[in-house]
Amino acid sequence: MRLIHTFSIAASLLLGAALAQTADPARIRVPTVQVGTVATGALLELDAVLEPVRQATVTAQVGGNVLALRVAAGDTVRRGQALVQLDDREVRANTARSDAAVAQAQAELRNAQQVLERNRALQKNGFLSAAALDGADNQVKSAQAAVAQAQAARNQASVAQGFAALAAPFDAVVLTTHVQAGDLALPGRALVTIYQPGQLRAVAQVPASRVAMLNAASQVVVVMPDGQRLTPSTRDMQPTADPVSQTVEWRLPLPVAAANLRPGQMVRVQAQTAVSAIGGGDNQRLSLPARAVLRRGELTAVYVAAADGFLLRAIRVGAAHGDTVEVVTGLRAGERVALEPVRAGLPGAVAE
């Protein structure tokens, strides 16, 4: 009986020890990998800004107070949709004045034609000289020119009246509004800026000394604020340099499928250049498996193995090569990082 009791106690102690060992967080073993190096070309990074490929600023072509601003920033508009209504009383008055001038010119033309017909009858019967008939004929031609001039002025007034109601020239999104109801819109003043959605490009200012290197880049990606990496559809390096800053504008149109992007956002452009483009020789860059990188919102980090566990350290990564990524900053060669960052973040986790 005592033997059975002793065996039960021993079994209970062994089971308790096993449970304690399982529950002990210090027993969490996480595999690690050593940070290595890879020979690559230079990775150049540039700041860039997103801007629309197609953008238009609707401006006032006639003067007048803004009676109504019919859109707000962020609104989606269709081609021909009203954007701004200006006070058109003055232009409507000009149109009415032009209509009256056309009617007057037409009446004078009819009068001149009637005089010419009577003079022709008189000249045929010998009661009027040829010189007088020529004068009547010239009066008709002058009246015809006056009618044409008045009609041209009426057309001009009608066009000006159309400028009072400003509409969208294409399907677009309102980027910003520059006026409010009650403002005075003089000719040339910007009223509304619109852009065509779905067609954005990253624009970077490249130092003139780096233009040739970037033109020969083997790979170019645009890194979005959320970490999304997009490959530009084309690369458009402008032919002229700014004489003051000595930079060249580099336009990188993004794929149409890129969503949730807005003009004005800051992005990063990463260009991978060949080794020969930087003067020969190997350019060693740190690398590690992509699955070792922890991404949480704006944070890109790894868990670095330490004597008593792991330390979370922010890093900046570069180009991806298959299952590995380049490390730009944050690590040193020879350090070991956790291959399973989620487990490495648990309390008491240690390197395997």
- Cα–Cα distance measured from residue 294 to residue 327, given in angstroms and rounded to the nearest whole number: 13
Each domain of the chain, given as residue ranges in start order, spans 27-40+282-352, 43-53+200-272, 55-87+164-195, 89-162
The pTM assigned to this predicted structure is 0.52
- Cα–Cα distance measured from residue 265 to residue 230, given in angstroms and rounded to the nearest whole number: 14
Q: What is the pLDDT of residue 258?
A: 60
Beta strands of 294-345 (E only): which ranges?
A: 294-296, 299-306, 309-314, 316-321, 324-329, 336-338
* Contact predicate 340/351, CB 8 Å: no
Q: What is the pLDDT of residue 22?
A: 43
Identify the residue whose tokens are 């005075």. Answer: 184
Q: What is the pLDDT of residue 14?
A: 35
Tokens of 275: 């080794």
- H/E stretch holding 230: strand 229-230
- Cα–Cα distance measured from residue 241 to residue 249, given in angstroms and rounded to the nearest whole number: 7
DSSP secondary structure letter of residue 179: -
Q: What is the pLDDT of residue 256?
A: 73
CATH code reported for the domain at 27-40+282-352: 2.40.420.20
For residue 86, the one-letter residue type is L
Look at the domain 55-87+164-195 and name its fold: OB fold (Dihydrolipoamide Acetyltransferase, E2P) (2.40.50)
- Cα–Cα distance measured from residue 74 to residue 61, given in angstroms and rounded to the nearest whole number: 24
CATH fold match for the domains 55-87+164-195 and 89-162: no
Distances (CA, A) of 54 to 35, 200, 346: 45, 8, 50
* Contact predicate 33/339, CB 8 Å: yes
Distances (CA, A) of 289 to 257, 294, 327: 28, 11, 10
Other CB atoms closer than 10 Å to residue 142's CB: what's the count? 13
Q: What is the pLDDT of residue 2?
A: 40
- Cα–Cα distance measured from residue 46 to residue 205, given in angstroms and rounded to the nearest whole number: 8
Other CB atoms closer than 10 Å to residue 145's CB: what's the count? 12
Specify the CATH number for 43-53+200-272; select among 3.40.1110.10, 2.120.10.80, 3.40.50.10310, 2.40.30.170: 2.40.30.170
- H/E stretch holding 238: strand 236-241
- Please give the angle made by the CA atoms of 315, 317 and 323, to the nearest 5 degrees: 120
Query: How far is the first Cα of the chain from the last one, in angstroms, to the nearest whole number?
Result: 45
Look at the domain 89-162 and name its fold: Helix Hairpins (1.10.287)
In the chain, what are the helix, strand and coil shares in percent, each to the nearest 5? 30, 35, 30
Q: What is the pLDDT of residue 278?
A: 41
DSSP secondary structure, 5-38, as one string: HHHHHHHHHHHHHHHHHHH-GGG-EE-EEE-EEE
- Cα–Cα distance measured from residue 220 to residue 271, given in angstroms and rounded to the nearest whole number: 4
pLDDT (tens, 9 = 90+) of the chain, 352 residues, equals 443 333 333 334 333 333 334 445 446 899 999 998 765 566 788 999 999 999 999 999 888 899 999 999 989 999 999 999 998 787 778 788 888 989 998 998 999 899 888 888 887 877 778 888 788 889 889 989 999 998 998 887 777 777 888 999 999 999 999 999 999 988 899 999 999 888 899 999 999 988 988 998 888 999 988 888 889 999 999 999 999 999 999 999 998 766 677 888 899 999 887 654 444 444 567 889 999 999 988 899 999 999 889 999 999 988 777 688 889 899 998 899 999 999 999 988 999 8
